[in-house]
Structures are given as structure tokens and as C-alpha cells.
Amino acid sequence: MPPVLTVSDLNVRFALHQAEVTAVSDLSFSLEPGETLAVVGESGSGKSQAFLSLMGLVAKNATVSGRAMLGDVDLLALGHSDLNRYRGKDIAMIFQDPMTSLNPSLRVKAQLAEVLVRHQGYTPEQAIRAAIEMLERVGIPEPVKRANAYPHELSGGMRQRVMIAMALLCKPKVLIADEPTTALDVTVQAQMLDLFKNLTTELGTALVLITHDLGVVAGIADRMMVMYGGRCVEKGPTDALFYDPRHPYTLGLLHSTPHVAKRARRLDPIQGLPPSLEHLPQGCAFHPRCAFRLERCFAERPPLLPVEEAHEKACWYQGELNYEEVA
């Protein structure tokens, strides 16, 4: 099957007061139908901006270039009104903060139903009925009552379920979930991830899961893409990256995640701070924090090259990565 979404050479730049900042550089990836791709990185790594730009939701001072083929449509080439035909229907997005992502002054059912009215041409009555069905499907008890509620009358987990229902109403080909569980209680997080997995499998939707939490990735993602300083530094099958990471940054991330790192004797946080996008280091952006850096890393940026079947990394260091030895 052909990929459902193919992004090539995506660049996102912001014009600030004096400088221009590049949030995403030369990002390319593809998404198979129904698969789950985890996009991992610290805040400021450009992971959210990359996907917001596909949805046409970046700030006004941003310029976006590259191609993003959804089927045979280039999302980045569309004007706003054309883009509106696809977003919400074929490609949907869920945001980090369920508390503020629903409109406080509209009832839940109105916010759900309008999607179907807009994209599927339902009548308002049909749309409300379908919305209530979807609420039931995402595990909301008493869906009729909740549909008539205002968002502030629902709990955080409930609101995120509403967001999920809203995004899946049109059975999109691609669902982008930007840190969907970060704002939720730990107990609710696990339920929510199960829900994601089940629903996207049922509907055949490809899921992009943006997160900084590797613990979230482990159970759910087929493939993984690690981002640093606006670039992809390593991507490949989740298992490969977990058990055989090839980029020092990926290794660092694994070691600083508590339950992934239980193999290690202690928790090793990555030294230093994530770089400011305005002053990205020369050469490899990670070199100031890298324990394996070479002379070459200061001057030349490593390209993204395959290391194995479907596993790529952008790093000059080719030796064995053994953290404990070095640290």
C-alpha cells in the first residue's frame, strides 16, 4: 500500500523581531496506513511546530516550505479554504491541553456535530446522533447527558475523550496527537493510550503521537522518530530504537526515562539545556551535550543515513554506544 502521508523537506521558519528562527529543518518522513509513529523530543525540538504546520495552524509570522502529500494532495500548497476541506476530515489533530482546547461557551454536542455537518453534509439532528454514538465509543458514560454539558462541567480526562471523539468523527486517514496525555493524571494516561490504540486500529487511522515521554511510546508505537534542534536525528522501528539506539541523544533520552532505564544502574539525565533555536550550535546541534562527540561534530552537520533496514540516524560517531563506560 502507498503511504498515507509523505512529508519531504519540511522547513518551518519564524520571523522574530530581529532574527529569523528555524523551528523545523529538512524534515522528511512517511506514514503507512494504520501505523503508529511516535515523534519524540524535548520541548523546542520542533516536533509540535512540524505537525502544526501540516495542519496550517502555525503562527502568522511563520513561513512553511516543503511538500506534504496526503494521498495525492499537497497540504502545504493549499490555500486556507481548500485546506479546510481536508483538515478535520482526512487529517485531524488532538492537542496537549484538553482543559483549554474545547470552546467554553458551546455545548459539547454542538462542537462535535459541526464537524459532521461541515464535512459529511449531515443534518444537525443526524450529526448530534452520530456525535453521541462516538462519545459512547470513546468510553464516556451517559453520553446523552455529557453531550448536553458545557466543557467546564467535565473532568480533564473526559474532555480529552471528547477531543478524541471529535477528531475521529470523520474517520480520518491520519490523526495527530500532540502530547495527548501530558496534562492528565497518570492513571488516566494509560486508559487514554489504550483507547487511542484500539480506536485507530478499528478505524484504520494512522496515528502520529507527539511526546517527550518515552514511556508512552513503548507500548503503542510501531515506529519512532527522534527530533533534536528542529531535525530528525534518528528514526526506525520502535524496538530497534529502544534496544539498539544508534544516536547518543536517543540513548540519553532512554537513560533519563525512569521505567525504560531500569536496566541501567542509575538515571542519567542528559547534561545541559536544550538549545535555543535562535542560536543553534554549529555542526551537529547536539555536540555541546554529547558524550561521544568527535572533532568533526563541531564543524560539520551529520546527514541522516541508513544504519540498518528502515533505521536511520544522523551522527558521525560509528562506534559502540556504551553510556556507563563513558559517563
- The C-alpha angle 140, 145, 148, rounded to 5 degrees, equals 110
Residue 301 Cβ, how far from another protein at the closest point, in Å? 20
Shorter beta-carbon distance to another protein: residue 174 or 321 = 174
Residue 105 Cβ, how far from another protein at the closest point, in Å? 4
Residue 102 Cβ, how far from another protein at the closest point, in Å? 6
Site membership for another protein, residue 83 (CB under 8 A): yes
Cα 54 from Cα 31, distance rounded (Å) = 13
Shorter beta-carbon distance to another protein: residue 89 or 137 = 89
Shorter beta-carbon distance to another protein: residue 271 or 318 = 271
Site membership for another protein, residue 62 (CB under 8 A): yes
Site membership for another protein, residue 57 (CB under 8 A): yes
Residue 54 Cβ, how far from another protein at the closest point, in Å? 11
* Count of C-beta atoms within a 10 Å radius of residue 232: 27
Instruction: Choose one: 56-64, 123-131, 140-148, 211-219; the region binding another protein (CB under 8 A).
Output: 56-64
Site membership for another protein, residue 95 (CB under 8 A): yes
Q: Cell triple for residue 219?
A: 507500548
- The C-alpha angle 285, 63, 58, rounded to 5 degrees, equals 90
Q: Which of 114, 179, 234, 312 binds another protein (CB under 8 A)?
A: 114
Site membership for another protein, residue 92 (CB under 8 A): yes
Instruction: Choose one: 60-68, 198-206, 209-217, 258-266; the region binding another protein (CB under 8 A).
Output: 60-68
- For residues 292-327, one letter each, b for 16 or more C-beta atoms within 10 angstroms of the residue's C-beta and e for the rest, the string is bbbeebeeebbebeebeeebbbbbbbeeebebeeee
Q: Cell triple for residue 121?
A: 453534509
Cα 218 from Cα 327, distance rounded (Å) = 25
Q: Is the dihedral of CA 279, 43, 252, 209 positive or negative?
A: negative
Site membership for another protein, residue 166 (CB under 8 A): yes
Q: Which of 63, 198, 201, 276 binds another protein (CB under 8 A)?
A: 276
Residue 118 CB partners (closer than 8 Å, separation 6+)? 88
Q: Cell triple for residue 117?
A: 455537518
Site membership for another protein, residue 58 (CB under 8 A): yes
202 CB burial (10 A radius; 0-12, 13-18, 19+)? exposed
Site membership for another protein, residue 260 (CB under 8 A): no
Q: Considering only CA atoms, which of 151, 157, 195 is closest in space to residue 175?
A: 195
Site membership for another protein, residue 156 (CB under 8 A): no
Q: Which of 70, 93, 127, 158 binds another protein (CB under 8 A)?
A: 93
Site membership for another protein, residue 16 (CB under 8 A): yes
Site membership for another protein, residue 279 (CB under 8 A): yes
Cα 222 from Cα 324, distance rounded (Å) = 28
Q: What are phi and psi of 316, to 5 degrees?
A: -80, -30
Give the binding-site size for another protein (rule: CB under 8 A): 50
Shorter beta-carbon distance to another protein: residue 31 or 241 = 31
Interacting residues with another protein (CB under 8 A): 14, 16, 21, 23, 43-44, 48-49, 52, 55-62, 80-81, 83-89, 92-93, 95, 97, 100-106, 114-115, 118-119, 150, 152, 163, 166, 273, 276-279
